[in-house]
Chains A and B, each alone.
Chain A
Amino acid sequence: MQMVDLAVIGAGPAGMTAATMAAGAGLSVVVLDEQPAPGGQIYRAVASGGTARADILGKDYVEGAVLVQGLLASTARHERGAVVWDIAPLDEGFEITFSQESGPSRVAARRLVLATGALERPIPVPGWTLPGVMTAGAGQILLKASGVVAGSAVLAGSGPLLYLLAIQMSRAGAPPLAIVETQSWRDQLRATPRVLGALRGWRTLFKGFGLLAELRGHAIRRITGARNLAIIGTGRAEGLQFTTKGRTQQISCDTVLLHQGVVPNTQASRALGLEHDWHHGQRAFVPRTDIWGESTHRGIFVIGDGAGIAGAKAAVPAGELAALQIAHQAGALDKATRDKKAGAPRKRLEAERSLRPFLEAAYPVAAQVLAPADTTMVCRCEEVTAGEVRKWAALGCKGPNQTKAFGRVGMGPCQGRYCGLTVTEILARSHDMPHSAVGSYRIRMPLKPVTLGELALLEPTDAAE
Chain B
Amino acid sequence: MSDILATVKFDSEGFMVDPNAWTPEIGKAIAAREGLELTDRHWVVINYARSEFKAKGQSPTLRAITKNTDVNTKEIYALFPGGPAKMAAKIAGLGKPTGCI
Do A and B assemble together? no
